[in-house]
């Protein structure tokens, strides 16, 4: 095995008419993870896995594909944007919450 992809179909959320985010109103393919062994990078493995997932999603009524990746990744960002035709839609912020230090 040189690669894997995990994805699922998400339907519109029940409160879709009350949501500000358009994506929750449609049936979508949610790609949770894509991994390719480093020795197999740039050999078409990731592209074929993504195309298969997108085809699988379309066959099940998905009209949109969504995924997250690290914004600073020199590998995944060009892959999704340049090779697969995805566009940036949002930014997810994270902050580690450490216990308060004594004052």
Distance of alpha carbon 48 from alpha carbon 16, whole angstroms? 32
Domain boundaries, the chain: 3-83
Q: Are 4 and 33 in contact (CB under 8 A)?
A: yes
- Read off the pLDDT of residues 25-78 as tens digits, 9 standing for 90 and up: 889 999 999 999 999 999 999 999 999 999 999 999 999 999 999 999 999 999
Superfamily of domain 3-83: Gcn5-related N-acetyltransferase (GNAT) (3.40.630.30)
Place 92 in a pLDDT band, splitting at 50, 70 and 90.
confident
**Has residue 103 got a pLDDT over 60?**
no
Using the 8-state DSSP alphabet, how is residue 80 labeled? Answer: I
pTM score > 0.75 for this model?
A: yes
> What does the CA dihedral 26, 76, 92, 60 come to, rounded to 10 degrees?
20
31 vs 91: which has the higher pLDDT? 31
């Amino acid at each position: 095995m040189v690669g894997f992809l995990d994805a699922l179909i998400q339907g519109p959320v029940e409160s879709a008419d009350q949501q500000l985010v358009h994506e929750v109103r449609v049936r979508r393919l949610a790609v949770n993870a894509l991994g390719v062994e480093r020795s197999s990078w740039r050999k078409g493995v990731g592209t074929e896995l993504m195309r298969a997932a997108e085809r699988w999603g379309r066959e099940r009524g998905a009209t949109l594909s969504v995924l997250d990746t690290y914004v600073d990744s020199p590998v995944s960002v060009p892959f999704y944007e340049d090779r697969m035709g995805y566009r940036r839609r949002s930014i997810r912020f994270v902050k580690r919450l450490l216990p308060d230090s004594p004052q």
